[in-house]
Amino acid sequence: MTAVWNAIEQDLKRLRDAGQFKTIKNLTRPMGPVSTIEGVGEVVVLCSNDYLGLANDPEVVEAATAAQRKWGAGTGSVRFICGTFDYHREIEASISKLSGTEASTTYVSCWNANEAVLPTLMAAGGDSVIAISDELNHASIIDAVRLGRQINKASKSKVYKHSDMAALEATLKESAGIEHKIVVTDGVFSMEGDVAHLDKMVPLCEQYGALLIVDDSHGVGVCGPRGLGVAEHQGVHGKIDCMTGTLGKALGGAAGGYIASRKPLVELMVQKSRPQLFSNALPPATAGAANKAIEILLRDTTRVDKLRANVQYMRAGLKSRGFETMDGPSAITPIILGETSKAIAASKRLLELGVFVIGFGYPVVPEGVARLRVQISAAHETSHLDRALDAFSKL
């Protein structure tokens, strides 16, 4: 055995010993409000990002199938060689409309979109650039800033305390001598369910000459009167310099990511961002599904309204059963339980009781604030939520 194989075994053992080894569950039915898990049986699903219940919606599935029939399985190419088709133009027009921006471009994931925008902009900033990031930003943003620092060794980065606007302003002030300032935040923070103060960040960034990037992966389809995201919720839709997001959550649950912004920024991504230059384009079925999901979202607010009513119903039900929920404007409802072992045990017991909800502990969240993360969908009917609440009563 080579040393690397030994290291692999040791790393896996460390995970098992630390209780951090994930048991991957195998679903045997399409994503929906209920599903079946191999070896477990039927469960109410409270851990999916399919917030609008579109992942298995007949219109969305038909659009994906039709796109595949028309365009085949894939592009067989990256965008700039021979991998740009009409359907890319169509979905990018929809994304721009949704985001309130001039232009947009797509990637095979939002992870890729974040790893495209930050390093490319940090490189463009030359020897005077700083990326300023919320401490609870998604792993893809953290890694993207790290990559940006590697690619442009002269660049700097700074992390500010979660959603602390005074800390952000202090960092912007300290960075007065740095020509290019980039502030980056999640719209919805996925472990907390709270939202960034975009209403304050937009004027702050304007005042200090910083460019604001918002990853609204968990906010689009959920927050705001029309479900356009956290920016709409806070009255600044169309005023964010650059949006990134996923097509793999509320927007059909398949996959894909995007960057939406003014034309020159999008053009720079098309010209220079490595995850687009060196990785295949979004495939037809994936784009078709997401494009239909956006159409459904923009058509009317039926699903967004139902999602919101479901979130309120579930939170009220949990509270009346003695659970302390963290309430934000998103569809994520964490219940803090304390120790990691407690959260893991609670999620195991809930699974036995027919409810699929994940317990998150250290290192995903800090020690002492391990939690169950309840995620609600517009696909849930009251009967599903009642089934889940009964299980919580027994917990």
Q: Catalytic amino acids? A: 190, 218, 249
H/E segment holding residue 43: strand 41-45
β-pairing, 129-134 vs 156-160, is: parallel
Using CA atoms, how far residue 329 sits from 52, 76, 161, 271, in Å, is 15, 41, 20, 37
Query: Among 237, 244, 181, 235, which residue's Cα sits nearest to residue 207?
Result: 181
The footprint of ligand PLP (CB under 6 A) covers 109-111, 138, 140, 186, 190, 215, 217-218, 246, 248, 257
Query: Among 307, 257, 207, which residue's Cα sits nearest to residue 99?
Result: 257
Report, in Å, the least distance between residue 387 CB and ligand PLP: 26
Closest to ligand PLP by CB, 211 or 332? 332
Distance of CA 199 to the CA centre of its chain: 20
Closest to ligand PLP by CB, 189 or 392? 189
Closest to ligand PLP by CB, 123 or 230? 230
Identify residue 232 by its one-letter amino acid code.
Answer: E
Report, in Å, the least distance between residue 358 CB and ligand PLP: 12
Identify residue 38 by its one-letter amino acid code.
Answer: E
Kindly state the tokens that stand for 354: 């027919």
Report, in Å, the least distance between residue 4 CB and ligand PLP: 27
Report, in Å, the least distance between residue 230 CB and ligand PLP: 11
Contact indicator for 96, 259 with CB cutoff of 8 Å = no
Contact indicator for 113, 280 with CB cutoff of 8 Å = no
